[in-house]
Amino acid sequence: MLDIQKQKVFITDVTGRDGFQMEKDWIPTEQKIAIINGLIRTGVKRVEVTSFVSPKAVPQLKDAKEVLAGIEKGDAQIAVLVPNKKGAELAVETEIDEINAVISVSETHNRKNVRKTVDESIQEISSINSIAKEHGKKMNVGLATTFGCPFEGLYPVEKVEELIGRLTEFEINSFALSDTTGMANPQQVFNFVEYLKSAFPEETFSLHLHNTRGMGLSNMLAGVQAGIEAFDAALGGIGGCPFAPGATGNVCLEDAVHMFEQIGITTGIDPDLLIGEAKNLESVLGYTLPGQVIKSGQSTKTYQA
């Protein structure tokens, strides 16, 4: 029997940023807005909508300001990713609630991802944090390659602990432990989360998982068992990191919601509406999405004999 005490989890949708950034064919701005508005209508209460990143680095997100202006947020929290101080300055000019920044545990991946050393990224996060706090925005930090790096391999949890320790002085709202290339396994996720929550009892942690090797949902459950209450996921399971080999696919949002609801953990998101939005996204992108529930429907669905 699963040893799960949680009755509710909080899922952030990252379709608009981590999902769309991997799409090579341009998605019209109005279609991005429609997809995000549809997600909010399903009950999603936090959305990472886009990123204020260089259009040369990620052309798909060059319409960040226009997308943010078009969404109907309701009571959802709106977050954006920023890679640097300039991105933060652009972000606070819009109607957002939270700023997300990313730093890699891996020195090699950090250089490839943002062209900075880890030390330089810590200084950049300090500047971003100052801007966020000045404008009354929450500040979150994603720890890329928390569970291993495709360039440096696996490393002990103490390496992650050391980086978090350096960042705690900035009074970050939350840290996202990120499995950037889907290298994590359930036992590792449980052990890392248990260790880090014990080492930093005052900090708030979430999990950002990828399904590269098919263990995304299993890793989510391991996270719940270790005390995690907040997760990231993307509609249809799209996305990944353009600067990490083999980093295909976030955990599928509708699959995650279906799993949690089926085992009695409330998400506040309507599974049927979510499946409908996944089908809309599939039509927009023009290819079959990797998610499973979109294909089969909920497990409670019955058919005429």
Cβ atoms of residues 47 and 79 within 8 Å = yes
pLDDT band of residue 303 (cuts 50, 70, 90) is confident
Please state, for a pLDDT cut of 90, what percent of the chain lies above it.
Answer: 90
Catalytic pick from 82, 101, 241, 256? Answer: 241
| Mean pLDDT for the chain overall | 94
Residue 252 a catalytic site member: no
pLDDT (tens digit per residue) in 117-168: 999 999 999 999 999 999 999 999 999 999 999 999 999 999 999 999 999 9
pLDDT band of residue 246 (cuts 50, 70, 90) is low
**Could you tell me the two tokens for 215?**
């263990």
DSSP class of residue 253?
Answer: H
First to last CA, the chain: 32
**Could you tell me the two tokens for 223?**
């996270």
Please give the helix or strand (H or E) that residue 175 lies within, else none: strand 174-178
Cβ atoms of residues 193 and 177 within 8 Å = yes
**Could you tell me the two tokens for 22?**
């991997």
Taking the CA atoms of residue 248, residue 35, residue 37 and residue 62 in that order, the dihedral angle to the nearest 10 degrees is 70
pLDDT (tens digit per residue) in 186-224: 999 999 999 999 999 999 999 999 999 999 999 999 999
Closest CA to 16 of 55, 56, 71: 71
Q: Which residue type sits at 152?
A: E
Please give the helix or strand (H or E) that residue 134 lies within, else none: helix 118-134
Residues 89, 63, 256: CA angle, nearest 5 degrees: 95
pLDDT (tens digit per residue) in 248-277: 689 999 999 999 999 999 999 999 999 999
Q: Cα(221)–Cα(198) distance, rounded to whole angstroms?
A: 19
Closest CA to 83 of 45, 110, 43, 47: 110
Q: Cα(118)–Cα(234) distance, rounded to whole angstroms?
A: 27
Q: What is the model's pLDDT at position 23?
A: 93
Number of H helices, E strands in the chain: 11, 8
Q: Cα(233)–Cα(105) distance, rounded to whole angstroms?
A: 21
Q: What is the model's pLDDT at position 5?
A: 64
Q: What is the model's pLDDT at position 241?
A: 67
